[in-house]
Structure 1
Amino acid sequence: MVNRHPIATALRALRQTLWGPDGPPGRPLLARWPRLARPAAPVGLLAVLGVFWITLTVESDWGLPPPIAVLFAAMTVAPLLALPRRPLLAWRLTVLALLICTFNAPAGLPGPWTPPLALGSVAVVAVVLARVDRPVLAWVVAITTVPVLTLVHAENRAAVLALLGALAIVGDLIRRNRLSRRALAAQTELSEREQERRAVLEERTRIARELHDVVAHHMSLIAVQAETAPYRLTDVPAPAAAEFAAIAGSARDALTDMRRLLGVLRSEATGPPTAPQPDLGDLGAMVDTARRAGLPVTLDVDPPVDGRVPAPVGLAAYRIVQEGLANAARHAAGAAVRVTVRAHRSGLGVRVENSPADARPTADGGPGHGLTGMRERATSLGGTFTAGPLPDGGYAVAAELPYQAESGDA
């Protein structure tokens, strides 16, 4: 039984070669040099006009009538005009020109074509063979050999066929290399997105663990106070004592559920914390540590009048300042850093900014996700976060942390 799949593939490739549309456009030749791309169009147009004039002159010297010479010159430059965007169309025009422009060539030339047509045909075939896939490449080579075998002189035929074979091999290698680089770039982009997604999930898990510790502390206080309230008060009615006991029981149940949740969030490599979570009052110690490490930091803190900051807000402010100082030390070595914390009626404003760097950024093994973590901390409290360069060349991150999330927030 005949396997029709290769035959069907070959027929589809033949249709694509003879009258099918060109494939998706490849990367422009001058994409790596954008400064050269702008003058490329007028320079290319002048080159095509030059080829047209040279061909017209050669055809006239060969004794062709002016209308035929103009026609042959136009058929010589037409493939060059179509080549940048329609390589297959340019190749079809080239084959047509090779079959038609064959009159009155003087003896001594390897073929019946003018030098501009011969060189232009080589350029067109080379570009096409580097753009098409293998089935179409095979048909392009096979069809191009028709004018070579029928019109090229016998003593030069082997050399021209060898040149065509070399162009086919090199073109296929170029196409495969381009496809490999494109696949590698796509895989690299996918890996970067996956790393970013993983970093976001890890940071959210870390924030959830820290918030668990803060909330668990408050739930423990609620349970203890509810249990001891009947003993600290006199003449507590029985219904009120039962209500206190119910509050204490609910708090204990909530603590049990939160411990189960923490078991899911905390990985095997992450043990329980051995120190209380930091808050706004620990900023001074952290800044002193940064100064001893050589980072010029100025701290300006304006806490609330009553000194009360919700524990999650204080923890988020501490972590944002900590990451901001780390980013400044990593990416703006030698720059002066200013940390500003301002309390207002409904929340806390945190800002970390640095002056322009005096030295090149230090290598840290790859891009980090510090901004992602800071944004996650701010948005988890219903706040906002912004980051970006300053007009003087420095950089600033700022967060607004509300004391109480909006009612629509989860």
Structure 2
Amino acid sequence: MKYDIVIIGGGPAGLSFARSLADSAFRVLVIEQSDAADLEAPEIDGRDIALTHLSKKILTEMGVLARIPEGEIAPIKQAKVINGNSSYCLEIDSKKEAVDALGYLVPNYLIRKALFEEVKTVGNVELLTATSVKGVQIETQQATVFLSNGESVEASLVVAADSRFSATRRKVGISASMQDFGRVAIVSRMTHEKPHDQIAYECFHYGRTLAVLPLNGNLSSTVVTVTADVASQIQALSDADFAAEVQARFNNRLGEMRLEGKRHAYPLVAVHANKFVKSRYALIGDAAVGMHPVTAHGFNLGLRGQDTLFREIKAAQLEGRDIGDLAVLEKYQEKHMRVTWPLYTGTNEIVSLYTNDSVPAKILRGLVLRLSNNFPPVKQMISKKLTELGGHEEGGLPFL
């Protein structure tokens, strides 16, 4: 079987890339180890994605957002960052930035579902489910992908979107930098007595981090980040005790809080591939860059990356060039690396600083927050990265 492009992984990055290729002259195959039923009706995983303006634009052009109920898309009007026990906070307001919202919260499982529904309608894309990849062989004129069913497929270009622990990335000899934070994020949804006014909070307490993100109505997505040993203790709490713990840590800002649905725990490991391409092979999504969630850039970087790769191979096709040629793929690598590396390293530094509870670090944490709040160029830079209002080519440092 011969294809122009084989995509390994039917998650958000892989499916969004497949959707970008709709109506192109490329013959595309998506290989996913999950069953079709799991893609068609993904389980609720507790994660709510904070879409930037660029991501919203891309998903709207794909037709994906139109498949998500309007009531499930919640605007973020303000963002506040709180350090320790201080009442002082860094504040970014959509009104001051002259936009309708800083970003938009959408459930991850609904994005996955909508992407699958879109890709199913694309005539030049085939989906091969319940199948894993056993290996990839790269040759001068083509790449061969070996499947768990004993068959193999050939392609001009193989694109891996098979998670931050990508097996094919290792098998083709691409190394990656990895940072295990030794922490676990416990995500859940909670109802509350008082309105949140569409304000997102990131509270860097001592020993833990609490994010409270506004959904529609008196409902918020909460993320409690703690060391792995403390996470097991928190998960052992009853629903009522867990809600009371979050309510107290949040200083009763929203009044009485109650757990809505299940709690989900995710170990935090960040990954950045040391290069994104080889001849006839490219990485996108978490296989290229898996971010710590504190700056909310993980999904957005994946969406941006696949869009960058699509633009480069489309341009090569129009010029009559080989889409799997290393010179073509290196253009994608150069552009995406320029965006991802500063974000990856900057985010990891922020996490290191704001989870360090030593006295010097506490002082520095407060100083950094005040500098960010009171020095306009810094605050404008933070706002631009938070919203991605700068457009597709905008790079720079992460949101603090």
Q: What's the TM-score once normalised by structure 1's chain length?
A: 0.22
Structure whose residues are more often strand by fraction:
2
Structure whose residues are more often helix by fraction:
1
Is the radius of gyration larger for structure 1 or structure 2?
Answer: 1
